A and B are shown apart, each in its own frame.
Chain A
Amino acid sequence: AQSVTQLDSQVPVFEEAPVELRCNYSSSVSVYLFWYVQYPNQGLQLLLKYLSGSTLVKSINGFEAEFNKSQTSFHLRKPSVHISDTAEYFCAVSPISGGYNKLIFGAGTRLAVHP
Chain B
Amino acid sequence: NAGVTQTPKFQVLKTGQSMTLQCAQDMNHEYMSWYRQDPGMGLRLIHYSVGAGITDQGEVPNGYNVSRSTTEDFPLRLLSAAPSQTSVYFCASSATGQHSYEQYFGPGTRLTVT
Q: Chain B interface secondary structure, helix, strand, loop or mixed?
A: strand
Measured CB to CB, the closest approach of chain A to B4, in angstroms, equals: 8
Interface residues on B, range: 20 to 34
Beyond the given pairs A49-B102, A90-B42, A103-B43, 6 more chain A to chain B contacts, judged by CB atoms under 8 angstroms and listed by A's residue number, are A43-B105, A43-B106, A43-B107, A43-B108, A100-B50, A107-B41
A-B contact count (CB 8 A): 56
Question: Contact between A51 and B101 (Cβ–Cβ < 8 Å)?
Answer: yes
Contact among B40, B41, B48, B107 for A102, CB-based, below 8 A: B48
A 23-37 binary contact with B (CB < 8 Å = 1; else 0): 000000000101010
Report the bound CA distance from A32 to B94 in whole Å. Answer: 15
29 CB-based A-B contacts, threshold 8 Å: A9-B40, A32-B101, A42-B107, A42-B108, A43-B4, A43-B108, A44-B105, A45-B105, A46-B103, A49-B101, A49-B102, A51-B101, A90-B42, A90-B43, A100-B31, A100-B48, A100-B100, A101-B100, A102-B45, A102-B58, A103-B35, A105-B35, A105-B42, A105-B44, A106-B42, A107-B40, A107-B42, A108-B40, A108-B42
* A86 at the B interface (CB under 8 A): no
Q: Chain A interface mostly helix, strand, loop or mixed?
A: strand
Known: A42-B107, A43-B90, A100-B48. A105 touches B43 (CB 8 A): yes
